[in-house]
Structure 1
Amino acid sequence: MEATQALLLENIKRIRKEKGLTQKDVAEGSDMLVPTYSRLERGGSNPSLASMVRIAKALGVPVVELLSTSEIKDRNVAQKLEMIGNLSEYNKSVINIMLDSIIEKDRIEKLQEVKKNSRLAELEAIRK
Structure 2
Amino acid sequence: MDEVLAAVGPRLRHIRQQRGCTLTALSERTGISVSTLSRLESGQRRPSLELLLPIAQAHQVPLDELVGAPPVGDPRVRLKPIRRGDATVVPLTQQPGGLQAYKMIIGTTRSEPDPRTHEGYEWLYVLSGRLRLVLADHDVVLKVGEAAEFDTRLPHWFGSTGDGPVEIISLFGPQGERMHVRAKPRDR
Q: Which has the higher contact order (CA 8 A, sep 6+)?
A: 1
Q: Say which one has the larger Rg.
A: 2
Relative to the length of structure 1, the TM-score reads 0.49
Which structure shows the higher strand fraction? Answer: 2
- Higher helix fraction (1 or 2): 1
